[in-house]
Structure formats: structure tokens, C-alpha cells
Amino acid sequence: MASRAPLELLPLNRSQLSPPNATTCDDAPEAWDLLHRVLPSVIIIICVCGLLGNLLVLAVLLRPRRRLNVAEMYLANLAASDLVFVLGLPFWAANISNQFRWPFGGLLCRLVNGVIKANLFISIFLVVAISRDRYRALVHPMATRRRRQARATCVLIWVAGSLLSVPTFLFRSIEAVPELNNDSACVLLHPPGAWHVARMVELNVLGFLLPLAAIVFFNCHILASLRGRPEVRGARCGGPPDGRTTALILTFVAAFLVCWTPYHFFAFLEFLTQVQVVRGCFWENFKDLGLQYASFFAFINSCLNPVIYVFVGRLFRTRVWDLFKQCTPRRPPAVSWSHRKRVLQLFWQN
């Protein structure tokens, strides 16, 4: 049985592109029509918001003559990762509106999907690094936080994300899928063998479960420390009050779960359909539609990150206001009436 879509994200084996006596599940045409009409516009809105938010974060953090501390270094890398991530969304929106016919050629098929895949991992690994940095700052305030180590961590994260995207660069290509009336689908063509299992481990375990476990560990210890050691949240760390810190951490964890759990659930369900643990048109349509809408929620995380990590901070809002004042033209100083009168007298005397 041929999968209806999402061909943008769905890995297909060569044997699956034209199986004998292939039939397509068309049990939900209205749902697919709604997706083709509505989802591209929503993705473009997410792209614009993500571009504006993350560009503003980088403009504030990377102002000249400012030395970034450890936390700001991670935040700047996260904003850069999210910025690169959302740059690929217009291609994904065009692919959906074109009913999964890729109009941009084979090179962009590999490049766009490879960059999106790399930054998926980079963004999540940076979230773990930020959680660890907060853990050290609040739970172990006397520990040394070195900028050189933070820079090395950021470089390692970008290298790891790039390496994990290599299979996408290698195996993405433009293929015809006759049973879906599609002559130019950008699909992931894994070789036969255990690639489905390897992809599931890479995406669900390395890209979600392990980072989630680290995030929960760090943030649970932060909350426990704030409840048991009031001095940690006060002047000794220079941190925000208990209520604001707790709300920030809970918002962060909730946003991560809400945005990424649906996508990884449907990605795992996709693996189960590929190994034929679950079968039938209901599961095909449920998995394919679910992956598309779950991807939408995952992309929202790139817009929420600037709000969660940065915009709730009072110091950042002060820096935004300073940047705004620098970019707006200054009004000329007010002239007193006595000065105006003196100028007029000199004018008429001449």
C-alpha cells in the first residue's frame, strides 16, 4: 500500500515507490484538501514570526562592544539555529500547496531537507545545554562557568547536528510516485536493510527521548533546589524570584513537550507502519495527516524559543529598549523662549 503523504518528511524504500497492485488510501480527501489550502499559509506566518523574533534576539545579543556571557552565548546559538530552521519553511509550504510535488530541483531537495534535519538536532541539543547551564547557575552557583567551554560545547553541537543530517543529504532525491499521481516527489530513499530501525533510533531516541530525559532531570533539580534553598534564587545568584523562575522553567518544559511530543509520536507510528506492525488505511491516513500537523507544532517551537528564553527577561527588555532608542532619530534639544527672543533680536538688528 502506497502512503498518501507527507512525501516531504516520509522515508520510502525504492520497493515502496511502485509496489505491485498498489492502492492508495483515499478515505480522507476533505482532510487533505484542507491541509493543502490552510497549512501553507500558517507555515508562512510561522516563518515570518520566527525570522523577526530570532533576528531581534541576535541583534540585541550581538551588539558591538558587548561580550556575551555563557547563557547569552547559548541563547545566541539557539536563535541562529532557529533562524536557519525557519528559512527552510517556505520551501516546505510550497511543497504542501503543490500537493507534495517538489518544484525546486534535486539539489535543493537535498540541501533544504538536510539543513532542516541538522537544525532539528542542533536546536534540541542547545535546549539541553541551556538547561544544564541554568542547573549549574541555580543549583551549584559556586561552580565555574567558562566561556571557552561554552564555545566548545556550541561547536560540538553544530558538528553533531551536521553529522546526524548526513543520511538526509545522501538519500534525498526526486522520484516519481505513479500510484499517487506524483512525478516529482522529494523523498528519502533508504537502502534496504535496517535503515528504518537506525532512523527511528536517530530521530526518536537521540533527537527526543535522551534530550527530554536530560531536560527533565535538570529542571526537576532546579525546582527542588528553589524550594529547599531560598538563597539560591536571591542575591547569591542574582536570579529572578522563585515565582518567576518556576514559571519560566515550567513554561519551557511545557512548550518543549507540546511542540515536539506529537511529531515524535507520529514518527514512531510511521516506523511501526513501515515494519507492518500496524496496517490498514485508517493507520495510513492517521499517520500521514498526523505527521503534517505535528510538524506544524514542532515548527512553532522556533517561534516560541525567543519568547521563553529571552523575552521574559527584564534585562533583555531593557536592552531591546536601548537598541530601539539607538535606531530611532534623536529629537533636537528644546530651545527656551529667551533664546528664541535673543535670536529674533539679532536677526532684526541685522
Predicted confidence (pLDDT) per residue in 208-217, tens digit: 999 999 988 9
Domain ranges of the chain: 11-17+28-323
Q: What are 24's strand-pairing partners?
A: 2
Q: What are 12's strand-pairing partners?
A: 189
Query: Cα dihedral sign for 282, 286, 287, 288?
Result: positive
Q: Omega into 6 within 30° of 0, i.e. cis?
A: yes
Q: DSSP letters of 47-74?
A: HHHHHHHHHHHHHHHT-TT----HHHHH
Predicted confidence (pLDDT) per residue in 284-300, tens digit: 888 888 888 888 888 88
pLDDT at residue 162 in the model: 93
Predicted confidence (pLDDT) per residue in 66-86, tens digit: 778 888 888 889 889 989 989
CA–CA distance from 33 to each of 38, 40, 89, 206, 269 (Å)? 9, 12, 20, 34, 23
pLDDT at residue 21 in the model: 38
Which residue in the block uniquely carries the three cell numbers 495527516?
289
CATH of 11-17+28-323, one of 3.30.70.940, 3.40.50.720, 1.10.3720.10, 1.20.1070.10: 1.20.1070.10
